[in-house]
Amino acid sequence: MVTPAGAGRSQAVRLLSLLLLGHLLAAVEVALLSPLSTRIAVAHPGGPAQLLATVTVPPGAPDDLGCAVWIADRHGRWWQRIAAHRLGPGRHELSVETDAAAPLRPEGHGQAWDAYAAHLAHSGGLLFWSARPGPRVRVENLRFVPRPTPDGAKTRLILSGSPERDVRCGTRWEARWRVEPAPADPWDPDEPAIRLEAVGPGGQRLAVAGFRDQPMRGWDRGDREEVVPWGTATMTTRLRATAPGSWALRVAATWRDGTRATAELPGLTAHGPPGDGIVRVDPGDPRFFSADGRWIWPLGPNLHSVWDVRGEERTNSRLTPDRGSLSYAAWFDRLAASGATTAEIWLSAWNLALEWRGDWAPWRGAGQYSDERAWQLDRVLSLAEARGIRINLVINNHGQASVHTDREWENNPANRAAGGWLDDPVRLFDDPRALDLQERQRRLLIARYGDSPAVLGWKLWSEVNLTEIGRQAGSREGDRGAARTLLRGWHERAAARFAALDPWRHPVTTHWAGNYMTPDREICALPGIGYICIDAYHGPDGPPLWSWLNRSTADPSERRTSGLAGLGKPVLVTEYGGNWDAAPEPLLEVAARIGGWVALVSGHGGGPMIWWHEWLDQRGLFGPYQALSRFLAGEDLRGPDRRCQVLLASAAGTRLWGRTWSGPGRMLGYVLDESWGRNGGEGGLLAQATCVLGENLRPGPINLTWWDADLGTIVAQGRIEHPGGRLEVPMPPFRRHLAFKAWRD
């Protein structure tokens, strides 16, 4: 604990605390344990309050007896102010205002005392100190009396600092604002609602909302990242100019009672190429993503959290030290160096959740968000953006609404047992208060992070069919129809709200456990669901991994398919790698090596995300990302005539699996030794394999390059003068798997 101001000592101070006796301490006599400090505590009502107390100092008391008022939140964050430098003998009536107009000083942190800090106050009282011991001091009627918020306060919107006047298109611009009166609940997006309007060249318009922004200090402690509030919170607005030229800016704050404050800003000048770099579903070929017209094929692992206990149990990997955003910085460095461009991250209670039960630090309960986690998520996305990594951001993980699978409902802040108001996690999907708070959170996510091109998309749920409502919707018992209707309606409304609120138009998705047969096709088909996320775990029995991945879209070898290609949306496998409990290491290595290639020729919207990221990292298996990124350099899979086709390939003594992604004039192909795919290991050398590029090709020259699928390097190339008709070509000797490109000039 920091030494109290005015105590005049440099040594550490231990505080003697009396029991918390409610909102009123009738009378108590305390001995001054000088040179230690003595603390007397009562409950704080939260909000503006006045401290009242009668303090009687007996004769013979030290002549340097000091007294301070202190207030702390439920996690022990502390503010104080000196009430008297010297309390002489006699009776003293203390009356100390503790509202924002009479601020307290932070101790051990830098968060300014304001209306929100007062709102979070949990306890407080008096602090006595002296250089020498003395007789007992009597304290009577110690209490905090709530004070009403003054009526008719002048509403103002005050620019804090000097925002940039000149920016490059697609880079972040910020303006910070002080709002008067300061809101007691700054997470309420309507009290006040901050809106920045920007008008650019040719009448382009952007409108973005403001959000609470508490400055923080973060540093590397070695074993963990330390994050502490430091400074005065503001309302911040973020913008990215999408076109070069002059932009006019105007901001307004609107309160629920209709009161309005406005401010004009100096103009903003943008330069450089137009665009914002944000990934969206491609308008020309909605099976894929693009950014500013450029084809994007996400490639990378599932970094759901820094560490994974199940990974340690199933793959013998070691737990990564949880050093917050510092750990992600190291992850992103390695991913970027390997050619990976994407990762999935969860806003889970053990990772980066903005909201969780209020008696767990650093959270504040339902509808109140962690400044620490908000800052860390900001930093994670900024680190990702700087390295060209895009994040599939998972807002809710299934355990938060489950009492069966990975259950966390017992600690959900909406649960009555954890201080909430619900007894059943199913009610998260239709309870008015729960829905209102979900709207509050999505407005924060969009306002604070929506301008970032590092956000690949908003993922509403991980494995939503494992929540309680998802289990009911998939059950053969009970009112399955009502559960499915409720779940579909919830998704329709949530996706529609993201579309209405997000000026950056990030796509929205949700996710199902199981495989391509599990998703609710009606939810998948909703206009607001931009892409589809599934698992592709597979056990030792049944179809092999490449079949699961190929069937997820459409297997051209089957006359009828139950794949997801018919929905015409990007399909992403965001969990895979053996079964849900992993697999023997040789088979996990096969999954890491072949997954991206199979997804590529199967028409997936991106590469599958292996779950066992610590195993991947600690075994040094980022190489497959490098191989694929090299192969895909300069490629573009889009086009209405492009599709997956069966590749007939053969080799003596083994069975080959082959597919191509083909369109007019260009073919990308992949061939896999099924024996190696089923068993792993080194694989045998295939010296005399052939494949058929087509049965009825028109005559003319065809260029052909063969690629090592493990290294992403060309191993052979040539030009074929094809006379027309069937074209069977020899393949260069290879082990395990091989890729190729064939095209006409």
Q: What is the pLDDT of residues 347-359, one digit of tens each?
A: 999 999 999 999 9
pTM of the complete model: 0.94
Match 């997936």 to its residue by tokens. Answer: 604
Strand partners, 216: 229
Q: How far is CA 193 from the centre of its chain?
A: 24
370 is written with which tokens? 């962690």
Report the range of poorest mean pLDDT among 96-100, 458-462, 678-682: 96-100
> DSSP 3-state helix, strand, coil percentages of the chain (rounded to 5)?
20, 35, 40
Match 């430091």 to its residue by tokens. Answer: 230
Q: Give 560-569 pLDDT, tens digit per residue.
A: 778 999 999 9
Q: If pLDDT is split at 50, 70 and 90, which confidence band does 150 have?
A: low
Tell me how far CA of residue 729 lies from CA of 323, 667, 694, 706, 740, in angstroms: 53, 14, 10, 11, 12
- In a 3-state reduction of DSSP, which class is residue 197? strand
Q: Give 339-387 pLDDT, tens digit per residue.
A: 999 999 999 999 999 999 999 999 999 999 999 999 999 999 999 999 9
Sheet with 342-346: list strands edge to edge. 342-346, 390-397, 455-462, 508-509
Residue 32: the pLDDT is: 87
User: Phi/psi of residue 662, each to 5°?
Assistant: -125, 145
Can you tell me the distance from the alpha carbon of 558 to that of 451, in angstroms, rounded to the nearest whole number?
A: 43
Can you tell me the distance from the alpha carbon of 303 to that of 604, in angstroms, rounded to the nearest whole number?
A: 20
Judged against a pLDDT cut of 50, whether residue 624 lies above it is answered with yes
For residue 471, which of 411, 549, 409 has the smallest C-alpha distance? 409
Mean pLDDT of 607-633: 96
Residue 154: the pLDDT is: 73
Tell me how far CA of residue 511 lies from CA of 305, 461, 508, 685, in angstroms: 17, 6, 11, 40
Judged against a pLDDT cut of 50, whether residue 14 lies above it is answered with no
Can you tell me the distance from the alpha carbon of 381 to that of 506, in angstroms, rounded to the nearest whole number?
A: 15
Q: Give 112-148 pLDDT, tens digit per residue.
A: 999 999 999 999 999 999 988 888 999 999 999 998 8
| Ordered structural domains, the chain, with CATH | 15-146 (2.60.120), 156-271 (2.60.40.10), 316-630 (3.20.20.80), 643-743 (2.60.40.1180)
Judged against a pLDDT cut of 90, whether residue 283 lies above it is answered with yes
Q: Are 181 and 153 in contact (CB under 8 A)?
A: yes
Judged against a pLDDT cut of 80, whether residue 629 lies above it is answered with yes
Q: If pLDDT is split at 50, 70 and 90, which confidence band does 248 have?
A: very high
Mean pLDDT of 521-540: 95
Percentage of the chain lying above the pLDDT 70 cut: 96
Helix/strand/coil (H/E/C) assignment for every residue in 227-283: EEEEECCEEEEEEECCCCEEEEEEEEEECCCCCEEEEECCCEEEECCCCCCCCEECC
Judged against a pLDDT cut of 70, whether residue 107 lies above it is answered with yes
Residue 155: the pLDDT is: 84
Strand partners, 245: 270
Q: If pLDDT is split at 50, 70 and 90, which confidence band does 305 have?
A: very high
Can you tell me the distance from the alpha carbon of 693 to that of 731, in angstroms, rounded to the nearest whole number?
A: 11
CB neighbours (10 Å) of residue 579? 13
Report the range of poorest mean pLDDT among 99-108, 191-200, 578-587: 99-108
Task: Give the DSSP H or E segment for 177.
Answer: strand 172-180
Judged against a pLDDT cut of 50, whether residue 11 lies above it is answered with no
293 is written with which tokens? 């017209």
Can you tell me the distance from the alpha carbon of 120 to that of 185, in angstroms, rounded to the nearest whole number?
A: 9
Q: Give 423-472 pLDDT, tens digit per residue.
A: 999 999 999 999 999 999 999 999 999 999 999 999 999 999 999 999 99
- In a 3-state reduction of DSSP, which class is residue 462? strand
**DSSP letters spanning 86-110:** ---SEEEEEEEE-STTSPPEEESSE
Match 């009687």 to its residue by tokens. Answer: 56
Q: Exposure pattern of 278-290 as b/e (b: 16+ CB <10 Å)? A: bbbbbeebbbbbb
Biggest alpha carbon distance in the chain?
115
Can you tell me the distance from the alpha carbon of 511 to that of 394, in angstroms, rounded to the nearest whole number?
A: 9
Can you tell me the distance from the alpha carbon of 511 to that of 459, in angstroms, rounded to the nearest whole number?
A: 7
Mean pLDDT of 162-188: 93
Type of residue numbered 408: E
Mean pLDDT of 27-35: 86
Tell me how far CA of residue 602 lies from CA of 333, 457, 475, 496, 669, in angstroms: 29, 22, 31, 30, 10
Q: If pLDDT is split at 50, 70 and 90, which confidence band does 22 have?
A: low
Judged against a pLDDT cut of 80, whether residue 100 lies above it is answered with no
| Helical pair 325-338 and 371-386, crossing angle rounded to 10 deg | 20
Can you tell me the distance from the alpha carbon of 457 to that of 498, in angstroms, rounded to the nearest whole number?
A: 11
Q: How far is CA 567 from the centre of its chain?
A: 27
Can you tell me the distance from the alpha carbon of 713 to that of 671, in angstroms, rounded to the nearest whole number?
A: 15
Residue 303: the pLDDT is: 97
Report the range of poorest mean pLDDT among 52-56, 99-103, 579-583: 99-103
Q: Are 612 and 311 in contact (CB under 8 A)?
A: yes
Mean pLDDT of 7-22: 37
Residue 34: the pLDDT is: 84
Mean pLDDT of 710-720: 97
CB neighbours (10 Å) of residue 122? 17
Burial class (CB in 10 A: 0-12, 13-18, 19+), 326: buried
Percentage of the chain lying above the pLDDT 90 cut: 84
Q: If pLDDT is split at 50, 70 and 90, which confidence band does 299 have?
A: very high
Q: If pLDDT is split at 50, 70 and 90, which confidence band does 161 have?
A: confident
Can you tell me the distance from the alpha carbon of 349 to that of 602, in angstroms, rounded to the nearest whole number?
A: 35
Q: Are 54 and 89 in contact (CB under 8 A)?
A: no
Comparing 562 with 555, the larger pLDDT belongs to: 555
Residue 17: the pLDDT is: 41
Tell me how far CA of residue 286 lies from CA of 67, 109, 642, in angstroms: 68, 49, 12
Residue 350: the pLDDT is: 95
Q: Are 371 and 216 in contact (CB under 8 A)?
A: yes
C-alpha dihedral, 596 to 598 to 599 to 601, nearest 10°: 120
Residue 6: the pLDDT is: 34
For residue 644, which of 553, 578, 724 has the smallest C-alpha distance? 553
Judged against a pLDDT cut of 50, whether residue 300 lies above it is answered with yes
Can you tell me the distance from the alpha carbon of 6 to that of 13, in angstroms, rounded to the nearest whole number?
A: 13
Strand partners, 229: 216
Judged against a pLDDT cut of 50, whether residue 2 lies above it is answered with no
User: Mean pLDDT of all residues in the chain?
Assistant: 93
Q: Are 86 and 134 in contact (CB under 8 A)?
A: no
